[in-house]
Structure formats: structure tokens, C-alpha cells
Chains A and B, each alone.
Chain A
Amino acid sequence: NAGVTQTPKFQVLKTGQSMTLQCAQDMNHNSMYWYRQDPGMGLRLIYYSASEGTTDKGEVPNGYNVSRLNKREFSLRLESAAPSQTSVYFCASSELIETQYFGPGTRLLVL
């Protein structure tokens, strides 16, 4: 039982490059989330998916797209990376609020 897994763990991109962050959970949760964490800003919600087939914008969706591929997987895509997207990205899943589990994070550096 791996919980929430994220790949890659670390990535360096040049401005304008694209990439997809992958997230998978094996807890059969309906809800999945993508957050970014920056110093002094805390965790900010980028997108979330309350169930398979649905996605909604969070607080900071600009520059990102998501895909809820199936119940297990929720990916985050940066189409044209910018230095402002340098951050640590966390994926989380939950059935109810009190059961929200986070992945280990992806550290992204955009040069």
C-alpha cells in the first residue's frame, strides 16, 4: 500500500518547456488535489477533482492544466513553464476532509 505517489521527485526546466507531473493513489479515494507550496505563502490549491471525470479550479490555476485520467491518477501539466512556477508541488487525495493524504512532493526549478 504505497498511498500517494508522485513522479518525478525533482525536475529542472528551461523557460518555455513543458512537462507533466504525475500523481497516483491506491486508497480508492474520490477526491484528488494539486497544491503548490512557496516560502511564506503556504499551500495553495491549483486544481482539484471531486470525482473521476470532474475537475475544478483552485486559487492559482493560471498556467496549469489537469487531467483526471481515472480514479487513481491525476496529472498536472505545465504547457510553457515560467520562473514563477518554481515551487514544490504536492498531490493529495481524500475520501472525506479528515482523510486527506499527501504525496512526497515534486521540486520544480524553472530557469
Chain B
Amino acid sequence: QKEVEQDPGPLSVPEGAIVSLNCTYSNSAFQYFMWYRQYSRKGPELLMYTYSSGNKEDGRFTAQVDKSSKYISLFIRDSQPSDSATYLCAMSETSYDKVIFGPGTSLSVIP
């Protein structure tokens, strides 16, 4: 079993839709949870960061962590064509430790 699992997609939605992206993990020691966005042929960029359980909101993006279920989610409201990218979840045990990435979900937002 991989440490971090993520549905690769591709996921295609119409503009304005609410998008839900999810990851599951097996290591209960993970405490830091990140979401990265990667445009085609570019490096990943940090989108959201959450420590431990709970929700975090930033504009149209909401990150949720459920440590009891070992499940994290990223919600995108009012999705835009510019949101079309690959979304990678990532996790770490400490703030100074190595980061483990999921394989990424490819998202296309159709105008």
C-alpha cells in the first residue's frame, strides 16, 4: 500500500462547478498537510497548508483534514478555467521533515 493515495483523474468539470479533490494516507504520524498546484511543464507551487485536523479557507479554496479517517480534501468553489492543473496532496510528520506526495489529480475546468 502506498503511503499516500490519490485518484489520478482526469477530472473534467464545467466552469463555476464546485470541485472536490481527495487523498487518503496510511501513516498516522503525519501532522502537516499541503496541497500543491502544478501547471503543465512547470514546477509545483504551494496552494494550501494545514496543521493537524480541521479546515482552512483561502478565497475559493478550502482544505479539510480528518485525521481519524486519514483523509484530506481540497474544495474549489466557483471553479475557473485557470484552475485547470494537476493538484498534488503532500504530507509530513514534522515541519522540518521530508514531504511525501500523492500522485496528483489532473483537473480540467471547461469554459
A residues lining the B interface (CB < 8 Å): 4, 31, 33, 35, 40-45, 48, 50, 56, 58-59, 90, 92, 96-105
Chain A residues with CB under 8 A of B95:
96-98
Cross-interface CB contact of A104 among B8, B42, B102, cutoff 8 Å: B42
Q: How far is the CA of A40 from the CA of B103 in the complex (A)?
A: 6
| Chain B residue nearest to A48 in the complex (CB) | B98
Contacts A43-B44, A96-B96 known; list 11 others, CB within 8 Å.
A33-B99, A40-B8, A59-B100, A92-B43, A97-B49, A97-B95, A97-B99, A98-B34, A100-B34, A100-B46, A103-B43
Within the complex, what minimum Cβ distance (angstroms) separates A99 from chain B? 8
Is the Cβ of B43 less than 8 Å from the Cβ of A97? Answer: no
Chain A residues with CB under 8 A of B41:
105
* B contacts with A, residue count (CB < 8 A): 25
Interchain residue pairs A-B with the least CB separation, the first 4: A102-B43, A42-B103, A43-B101, A98-B49
Chain B residues with CB under 8 A of A103:
43
Chain A residues with CB under 8 A of B101:
35, 42-44
| Chain A residue nearest to B92 in the complex (CB) | A97
B residues lining the A interface (CB < 8 Å): 6, 8, 32, 34, 41-46, 49, 88, 90, 92, 94-104
Cross-interface CB contact of A97 among B8, B32, B102, B104, cutoff 8 Å: B32
Chain B residues with CB under 8 A of A31:
96
Chain B residues with CB under 8 A of A90:
43-44
Q: How far is the CA of A100 from the CA of B32 in the complex (A)?
A: 13
